[in-house]
Structure 1
Amino acid sequence: MIGENTAKKRRGRLRIFFGYVPGAGKTRAMLEAAHAEQKNGQQVLAGYIEAHDRADIAELINGLELLPPLDIPVNGTTRREFDLDQAIRRRPDLILLDELAHINAPGVRHKRRVQDMEELLRAGIDVYTTVSIEQLESMSDVVASTTGMAEPARIPDSVFERADQVEFIDISPDIWLKRLHDGRIFSTEQLRQEAGDLYTPQKLIALRELAQRYRADQFKRYEGRLGERAVEANLYSREHILVCLSSAISNKKVIRTAARMAEDLQGEFTALYVETSRTKELTARNKSELRENLRLAEQLNAQVATVYGEDVPAQIAEYAKTSRVSKIILGRSQNRSRWSVGSGFVDKLTAAAPNIDIYIIPDQESALQSKIPQYARPPLLTLADTGKTLGILLVCTIIGLWFKVLGFSEANIITVYILGVLLDAMVTKGRLYSAVTSILSVLVFNYFFTEPYFSLQAYDSGYPVTFLVMLAASFITSTLTLRVKEQARESAQKAYRTEVLLETSRKLQQAKDTPAILSETALQMLKLLDRSIIIYEVVDDGLSEPLLYNKDGSTIDAQKAKLEAEREVAEWVLRNNKRAGASTDTFSAAHCLYHAVRSGDTVFAVAGIVMQQEEPLEVFESSLMIAMLGECALALEKDKLNELQKESSLQIRQEQLRANLLRGISHDLRTPLTSISGNAGILIGNSAVLSEEQKQELYNDIYDDSIWLINLVENLLSITRIDNGALHLNFQAELLEEVIAEALLHVNRNKEDHVIRVVLEEELLMARMDSRLIIQVIINLVDNAIKYSGSGSHITLSARQEKGLVVVEVADDGPGISPEAKAKVFEMFYTADNVRGDGRRGLGLGLALCKSIIHAHGGHIEVQDHAPQGTVFRFTLLAEEVNVHE
């Protein structure tokens, strides 16, 4: 089922066959273990096996069921890949998946085979797989420094941590080299030659030691997790490693080093990125590198955090002190970049965080220009800014000439030009125009206002000093102005994003139901990201119709068919509780990036951001969006809890109603039933000795009691239908005179003992009603007046029209109702003083039923005193005009 929560299923078990070199026997050991499982009755499916044309592997594959591969065309050739969908449909007990670090061909659901493995485990299928030491993300740099070659296909170390069993396949270097020369590892001479050159005996010994040490460290960490409670007892004793992210290629080595340190120390691991005003100016290549570094940190189990500010060391120190960081890891390469730190950067950071250990990871690789973060430079000259600069210089010159005519000193004219430089720095972009304006101001001042005039020469020996002071003042003024502009832009951006989050929280709190919450979330995401948004609500473990919002706030129509074609991606996100789509490794060809709106393992909705022809989300935008989706999940969870609380309250109410009904029926039905059975027994046993008058009296008693029971049952059924929402109203225009007449035919037969009078203001008085229910209301009200007023009382039914309403009254001259009883008379199971004119107790359902029916008609019912004595029940209905042409 699409919406079935896979987290609640039994998760499959993962067994990793781990080695330090290709050809160590990992695949062979995996196949032998699979045959043993098959003998034990397990259904084993060979999902994907790399045989490498080896006869011993092909022999072991015999006897196992092979899954047909998925043929993917790539650049005119065909690549064979693991068929994930077919494997899940087959649902074996165990799947063999060789080469876990393999990168899938374009067009496959997941970019990497390790993601296929994760989905198999979530589906409850056990997986056997193989991994080599160079394929581990945290060890790739160490292995590359040993072998001289980096492995492009890698897996996160968290896979090892989640494995149920890791079996180290050991082999001595001598035996491995003998297998290599005998052709038992690679089938061609060229591959054997390349492997022999790459894996020398010394390198094999080093790799073997690395693998054994890594496996031992994993075992220690496992033991440490068993005693995790004892470690968590003292939070301040835990190490907290902070690594700084950047867009440099060499930053990957820093991240891996920090991850290994966090694992060795069994501490927390955080990756921090400081976004500045120039982050948006990074080139597309550097933005891609930044996203890759961020993804690498996430794969290595880092908690990613983002802060915003121009002073990078201060921001790092402030975050480190707030988060109780114990160690900060930085990178340093031969080329200086923003994160390739120098002594000044470290000095500032050390001064701001003196109690935190700082580690500098050097980059010994060749200093390539591509490692330096590059910024997309705006055009140096633009027509608009050039015009502004020339215009400001012209205005300053005109004002200076005017000041000269008025006899002002040269110092005043210099002030005008400095003011012009400040104004130019405010209205133009970049530092170039400010610098040019500073220089031109000096030249123009020299040309127009120093002797000899209209020349760049100066006779006065003090003028050069004046020029230098003027130029320095202009540069300082422009620099300070540009810095203020940057700070203002930074403050405005912070304020805007903070306002969006606060507004989101406020609007989600004010939203009344789930559709309103999702709508507000989509609008806030659109406001934050300026991208089209698509929202799927989870209904009955599946996805509802999408809510689509365009950039301008209108509903998307043209893209609806295209987005509906991607519903499969949203359904996958719902099933697996993980993000997918554009800019991810799952369904990377999709047009949207899909996130689960979740709280724990429960998915409430799926949100999609349209990414087609749009740049990927920035780091800070992504963090804010995830926070916004978290707020939405909390609001949806609260709404669901409120619904459950309402259902619980309704169930409690229904249980109370049931208990009250049973309690009332058990007591109040006993009297009429006893009377009926007793009178019937007298008639059966003594009919011969009873006179006709006595028999008629017994008949009347039986009839009265049976009618009372019938009315009681009718009221019970009506109350039950209204309470369950099963009452269907058939509104029509009805004549009040006919409705009242019909009701009087069915009232208590004791009506002959009372004077009942009908007073209508108009003969053709009509109201909008369901006649059968209004007849029941009138019967209940008249019966109530008959029962609670003595014989010979006067009962008046009247009706009149007032302001579009028909007012119906039932008045009697009985003993009346006390003020305390008036407030409760329409409550269910309430009876005024429990006394009736016939001495029989009622259940208190009649007036409660009247109130429910009148409210269903959109009217109002009330009780008042009747002067000089008695009670008046009054209710209203919507009036209908009489059509005289009918």
Structure 2
Amino acid sequence: MEDIRPSPEEFLARIKQEETKAGRLKIFLGYAAGVGKTYAMLDAAQEAKKLGLDVVVGYIEPHPRPETAALLEGLELIPTRKINYKGKTFEELDIDAVLERKPEIVLIDELAHTNVPTMRHVKRFGDVEELLAKGIHIYTTVNIQHIESLHDLVKEITGVKVRERIPDYLIDHAAQIKLVDIEPDDLIQRLKEGKIYPLKQVEKAIDYFFQKQNLVALREIALRRTADTIFHQKTRKNDSFETKIHVEEHVLVGISSSPTNAKVIRSAARLAQAFHGKFTALYVQKMDRNERNEASSERLQQHIKLTEQLGGHVVIVQEDDIAAALANYSQISGVTKLVLGRTSMKKKWWRSNSKISDRLNDFVPNLAIHIVPDQENEPLRFPEVRTQLKFEWMDMLKMLTVFSLASFISLSFFSIGVSESNIITIYILGVLVLATWTTGWMVSIISSLVSVLIFNFLFIEPRFSFEAYHRDYFITFLIMFLSGLITSSLTKKVKEQAIVAVRKSYRMEVLLETNRKFKY
């Protein structure tokens, strides 16, 4: 059997790393309020003090339970910071007092708490990270429903939208996680005895969050999340063990500015975590336009930030076809699972497989696709055409020049007996030239119409008027207009694709140059 134990040098490197790195975070994790997280944390603090460690209490949420309050005896309490905000007084962790005292271990309850806006960190876990960076060890508590990736899952189970959440990396990178567990029946009994909430709130709590089926489901999630974290930490410490037990999974999720895309991202993060694999989010940026409005751009940035908080890597590509972009990236990057949100768009009559999932099945039939139910999809919006139909007076001058030249050439050919059908192609050629020379679609539409009118005025009997005696000329004018419009549209498209190709080439050149600099 191959010996995969670390070498003495590796052991020494790990010991030195342990000595020089920041403080260690120990999390007491529960599946609901009242399971005994704070009690377990205080009990561990008393044990640490008996071992001669310097332990202080930074912040403990007030508890009516006498057995919990009794465990505070003998522990040094750092006074909380009282802050007046909007006419109310709040008590918060005094991080400066903790830094000045600099104990070995500090107890900080309620990791997911949102600080008063006047404090330097928005969330309490920001205070914890600062203290860890200063080499202070932290004991803290949190419930499973406050973990970011589990937000949607908890909401579906309990119907409660938890607003205070912490990034998953705090759980994944914690030095130790202690699951504080209790039977759901025992927890409900404690609730009825008034040991969790005041008696006047008990009945409402039992009817909503503290239903037995909810607690059983939350308990299962907490057990599974703790087991996944322990396994992830074990494999991260021993890379050779990780490579032998499984082939790494790669989960890809499509990212967008949709209001409900966050739910899809969290589902993909949980899937990647369950399989202990890579997590990537792909944003497909349309080549012909940017985000529709400021709100969409802001939501997109929030989703990118959420992906990074959940340990994902964000990739941005430029492509018109979203399904093709997802399929191409999946094949190139070895994606094993793709997560998409269920779209509310109906199939279009001119395209049999208009849904992204249907088209992905055609592109990559062997790729596992996970569809996240989403009943709150973004309402259908019509594409923004204002920027595409912009008009510039310089384009009008160019059109005047082109059609003047085209008319001069056509009259010359007409005088020597060239047929009208050949003269039509001269004006279509003028429309084609304008499509490559001008900007915006408005000129293409106007030029197609103007070419028909000029041809009618100069060459159709009676000449030098906009009348036409023969009824067949209506079909001629219509075909001429449509030919000019389609030709100019295709030329515009080719022009835009050429510009995008140049941008892609430049970006690739920059990436290759950056890669060379990193190597050397």
Structure 2 CA distance for partners of 1:465 and 1:74, relative to 1, 3 Å: farther
Structure 2 CA distance for partners of 1:466 and 1:73, relative to 1, 3 Å: farther
Match of 2:435 in 1: 425
Match of 1:97 in 2: 108
Q: Residues of 1 paired with 2:494 and 2:210: CA distance?
A: 59
Residue 504 of structure 1 deviates from its aligned partner by 6.5
SS of the residue aligned with 1:186? coil
Q: Is this contact kept in 2: 1:410–1:449, CA < 8 A? A: yes
Match of 1:156 in 2: 167
Q: Is this contact kept in 2: 1:247–1:373, CA < 8 A? A: no
Structure 1 regions of 5+ residues with no counterpart?
A: 510-630, 636-886
SS of the residue aligned with 1:100? coil
Q: Is this contact kept in 2: 1:242–1:271, CA < 8 A? A: yes
Residue 162 of structure 1 deviates from its aligned partner by 2.1
Q: Residues of 1 paired with 2:482 and 2:502: CA distance?
A: 30
Structure 2 regions of 5+ residues with no counterpart?
A: 1-15
Match of 1:469 in 2: 479
Higher relative contact order (CA 8 A, sep 6+): 2
**Of residues 37, 45, 57 in structure 1, which corresponds to 2:48?**
37
**Of residues 82, 85, 88 in structure 1, which corresponds to 2:93?**
82
**Of residues 472, 476, 479 in structure 1, which corresponds to 2:489?**
479
Match of 2:8 in 1: none
Match of 1:46 in 2: 57
Residue 17 of structure 1 deviates from its aligned partner by 1.3
Q: Residues of 2 paired with 1:187 and 1:359: CA distance?
A: 47
**Of residues 279, 282, 298 in structure 2, which corresponds to 1:269?**
279
Does residue 321 in structure 1 map to residue 331 in structure 2?
yes
1:206-225: CA deviations, max 9, x gaps? 22222233334444445555
Q: How does 1:713-732 map to 2 (within 5 A)?
A: none
Q: Residues of 1 paired with 2:488 and 2:182: CA distance?
A: 69
**Of residues 157, 166, 177 in structure 2, which corresponds to 1:146?**
157
Q: Is this contact kept in 2: 1:158–1:301, CA < 8 A? A: yes
1:540-590: CA deviations, max 9, x gaps? xxxxxxxxxxxxxxxxxxxxxxxxxxxxxxxxxxxxxxxxxxxxxxxxxxx
SS of the residue aligned with 1:280? coil
SS of the residue aligned with 2:299? helix
SS of the residue aligned with 1:295? helix
Q: Residues of 2 paired with 1:456 and 1:82: CA distance?
A: 84
Residue 278 of structure 1 deviates from its aligned partner by 4.4
Residue 94 of structure 1 deviates from its aligned partner by 0.9
Q: Residues of 2 paired with 1:366 and 1:321: CA distance?
A: 30
Q: How does 1:703-714 map to 2 (within 5 A)?
A: none
Does residue 403 in structure 1 map to residue 410 in structure 2?
yes
Match of 2:216 in 1: 205
Structure 2 CA distance for partners of 1:404 and 1:217, relative to 1, 3 Å: same
Residue 144 of structure 1 deviates from its aligned partner by 0.8
Q: How does 1:93-172 map to 2 (within 5 A)?
A: 93-172=104-183
Q: Residues of 1 paired with 2:341 and 2:452: CA distance?
A: 44
**Of residues 310, 318, 330 in structure 2, which corresponds to 1:308?**
318
Q: Residues of 2 paired with 1:397 and 1:83: CA distance?
A: 79
Query: Counterpart of 1:434 in structure 2: which amino acid?
Result: S
Residue 141 of structure 1 deviates from its aligned partner by 1.3
1:735-759: CA deviations, max 9, x gaps? xxxxxxxxxxxxxxxxxxxxxxxxx
Residue 75 of structure 1 deviates from its aligned partner by 4.9
1:400-453: CA deviations, max 9, x gaps? 376236525433443343234334433544434433443444355445543455
Match of 2:369 in 1: 359
Q: Is this contact kept in 1: 2:253–2:281, CA < 8 A? A: yes
Residue 459 of structure 1 deviates from its aligned partner by 3.1
SS of the residue aligned with 1:155? coil
Residue 261 of structure 1 deviates from its aligned partner by 1.9
**Of residues 186, 189, 192 in structure 1, which corresponds to 2:200?**
189
Structure 2 CA distance for partners of 1:239 and 1:395, relative to 1, 3 Å: closer
Q: Is this contact kept in 2: 1:103–1:113, CA < 8 A? A: yes
SS of the residue aligned with 2:290? helix
Greater Rg over alpha carbons, structure: 1
Query: Counterpart of 1:280 in structure 2: which amino acid?
Result: N
Does residue 330 in structure 1 map to residue 337 in structure 2?
no
Residue 121 of structure 1 deviates from its aligned partner by 2.6
Q: Is this contact kept in 2: 1:54–1:187, CA < 8 A? A: no
**Of residues 72, 80, 84 in structure 2, which corresponds to 1:69?**
80
Q: Residues of 1 paired with 2:455 and 2:110: CA distance?
A: 75
Residue 188 of structure 1 deviates from its aligned partner by 7.4
Match of 1:841 in 2: none
Match of 1:492 in 2: 502
SS of the residue aligned with 2:498? helix
Q: Residues of 2 paired with 1:72 and 1:456: CA distance?
A: 81
Structure 2 CA distance for partners of 1:367 and 1:304, relative to 1, 3 Å: closer
SS of the residue aligned with 1:101? coil
Q: Is this contact kept in 1: 2:353–2:359, CA < 8 A? A: no
1:367-416: CA deviations, max 9, x gaps? 343xx79977655765x525524751575267437623652543344334
Does residue 254 in structure 1 map to residue 261 in structure 2?
no
Query: Counterpart of 2:323 in structure 1: which amino acid?
Result: P
Match of 1:24 in 2: 35
Q: Residues of 1 paired with 2:253 and 2:384: CA distance?
A: 26
Residue 122 of structure 1 deviates from its aligned partner by 3.0
Q: Is this contact kept in 2: 1:52–1:187, CA < 8 A? A: no
Structure 2 CA distance for partners of 1:173 and 1:444, relative to 1, 3 Å: farther
Structure 2 CA distance for partners of 1:37 and 1:227, relative to 1, 3 Å: closer
Q: Is this contact kept in 1: 2:410–2:426, CA < 8 A? A: no
Q: Is this contact kept in 2: 1:15–1:166, CA < 8 A? A: yes
Structure 2 CA distance for partners of 1:406 and 1:471, relative to 1, 3 Å: closer
Q: Residues of 1 paired with 2:461 and 2:64: CA distance?
A: 93
Query: Counterpart of 2:410 in structure 1: which amino acid?
Result: F
Residue 316 of structure 1 deviates from its aligned partner by 3.0
Structure 2 CA distance for partners of 1:154 and 1:436, relative to 1, 3 Å: farther
Q: Residues of 2 paired with 1:98 and 1:342: CA distance?
A: 53
Tell me the percent identity.
40
1:481-530: CA deviations, max 9, x gaps? 22122212212322443455566688xx7xxxxxxxxxxxxxxxxxxxxx
Residue 145 of structure 1 deviates from its aligned partner by 0.6
Q: Residues of 1 paired with 2:461 and 2:401: CA distance?
A: 20
SS of the residue aligned with 1:198? coil
Structure 2 CA distance for partners of 1:446 and 1:99, relative to 1, 3 Å: farther
Q: Residues of 1 paired with 2:190 and 2:180: CA distance?
A: 15
Match of 2:399 in 1: 392
Structure 2 CA distance for partners of 1:366 and 1:504, relative to 1, 3 Å: closer
Q: Residues of 2 paired with 1:70 and 1:474: CA distance?
A: 74
* TM superposition score normalised by structure 1: 0.50
Structure 2 CA distance for partners of 1:362 and 1:239, relative to 1, 3 Å: closer
SS of the residue aligned with 2:115? coil
**Of residues 453, 457, 460 in structure 1, which corresponds to 2:470?**
460
SS of the residue aligned with 2:280? strand
